[in-house]
Structure 1
């Protein structure tokens, strides 16, 4: 087929979505069984309208259950990485005291090592609770359950992980067929490793790519030749397709110049159907571009036979 025929086959067989049922919410990131006691205890602050009573209840809460501070990072919607830093590594949460004096900060700790210290710093943590808006939240917004509120916060935060889940799912989708081809022809399969690993098998590392990570690498050790396979799924449009193609043209040329090969497995109807000039340019300058349907219909196997086994289809 000529380039235009390849483009037409590619565009006609794109997937409309990569979203599975477990794409939308990873519930393992949402449940909080380890804080059941703390969440029940902090419920004592709900709907206390009187400020003096609220303060008195807050102080008693910290005296009797100082571990309750471990749920504070969840109340203010910190990311999982930030929460892990505070709760597992004992890192402080630094907050600027005054916008006009940004070098001056307050440090707050929420990990187990600081539970007893909190009893001596109730004034400081009460100020944190008020200035963060949490006092107002408990007085006016949370009606019955702090746990239910946090579930809502975590579901919202988890939406940030959807892009990674989608990309990981598409990699997993492609991995099985690639491994089958490698097993069929006795080729070495490597995933998520620095490209420099191919030097171990006698292959030349493309200049400037030694430290970059590859989605997949297929190696024919008998001829010391490697193929980098990059896998991605795009739901959006905009300037991204042009950037993608530019980056992969450079990578494909670098692998070709070092005596190796490169293949791009990309998909997403909403992206590529609206970026036909970019994908046409990609097909004209990158030898090997396929989508998932083409992978399943021997597209990658034909490429590997030609590039790594010197077998024409």
Structure 2
């Protein structure tokens, strides 16, 4: 089958599925995927003054007492410790073992500093190896060191960032589409927003659901609901995802108003969940991937349906 919008939209569900599967993207990772520099800079700048003060401890031979004296004089410096040990938590639950392996549980709050017990914080710095690092291994600015830590911690956000990138790709395509065809749209719109803005009631499966994109054609009073996601890896979640969007499509189809659903999804993970995806193709008319966006399937859809498409 020739890869074109007309052929795709007229094909049977099985034929559309096969074409969809044969054009899955190997990745959706734009350069912005790898690190969020704004977040890294924000996380470091927060304690820049305190970290520069802590440079005083680097290389100190009697670092335990130096730390105790410094923290006693400036207890606010203690707030930097979670950043220095690569922790997002600011209240730490800690298990300590003595020489006889007796266990003791304690909690250290690095936001509300207990100035009556500075020793506990210094002991933690010693037991965690932080003081040894400052004494023997730290040979540059602690601000630069925390930049590296923040960059490493930010990599943990890449999984969620994949979905954000899909939303960004969709948003750019919708901006282009609406500018070309004089349509209105809103990102992350709720059913209540749609009702207030355009006077159309969207039946939803979740009361506070936010749709990735909503497009409105004021000439025909049509509403288009668009959801997007990307799955580079497989798993049982993909079956539930298919079921969720089938249900959403069915809810939308219950409306007597002109409301339509588009699902834009991609990723090699769908190779592990072809059966639940095939069920979605049986019930959802418009399922596109990134290659189809690239080939203007979305624009073609609206060019044909924009003014006179009725249920």
TM superposition score normalised by structure 1: 0.78
Matched, 1:186 2:177: no
Matched, 1:10 2:10: no
Distance (Å, rounded) in 2 between the aligned partners of 1:185 and 1:175: 15
Q: Quick check: 1:48–1:139 contact (8 Å CA) kept in 2?
A: yes
SS of 1:30's equivalent in the other structure is helix
TM superposition score normalised by structure 2: 0.79
Distance (Å, rounded) in 2 between the aligned partners of 1:178 and 1:167: 16
- Spell out the pairing of 1:179-218 with structure 2 (5 A cutoff): 179-200=175-196, 201-218=198-215
Distance (Å, rounded) in 2 between the aligned partners of 1:306 and 1:252: 21
Q: Quick check: 2:195–2:202 contact (8 Å CA) kept in 1?
A: yes
Structure 1 alignment gaps of length 5 or more: 87-92
Could you say what the CA RMSD is over the residues aligned between the two structures, in angstroms? Answer: 3.2
In structure 2, what is the equivalent of residue 175 of structure 1?
171
Closer/same/farther in 2, CA of residues 37 and 199 from structure 1, 3 Å limit: closer
Distance (Å, rounded) in 1 between the aligned partners of 2:190 and 2:170: 19
Aligned length: 291
Q: Quick check: 2:229–2:266 contact (8 Å CA) kept in 1?
A: yes
Residue 64 of structure 1: CA displacement?
5.1
Match of 1:39 among 34, 44, 51: 51
Deviating above 6 A after TM superposition, structure 1's stretches of 4 or more consecutive aligned residues are 96-102
In structure 2, what is the equivalent of residue 262 of structure 1?
261
SS of 1:153's equivalent in the other structure is helix
Q: Quick check: 1:206–1:254 contact (8 Å CA) kept in 2?
A: yes
- Spell out the pairing of 1:1-313 with structure 2 (5 A cutoff): 1-31=11-41, 32-33=44-45, 35-48=47-60, 53-63=62-72, 65-79=74-88, 82=89, 93=91, 95=93, 106=107, 108-110=109-111, 118=115, 121-139=117-135, 142=138, 144-200=140-196, 201-259=198-256, 260-268=259-267, 270-304=268-302, 309-311=307-309
Structure 2 alignment gaps of length 5 or more: 1-10
SS of 1:258's equivalent in the other structure is coil
Q: Over residues 28-82 of structure 1, what are the superposed CA-to-partner deviations in whole Å (9 max), with x where a residue is unaligned? A: 3334356444334323434556xxx223211332255544223212023232xx5
Distance (Å, rounded) in 2 between the aligned partners of 1:308 and 1:258: 19
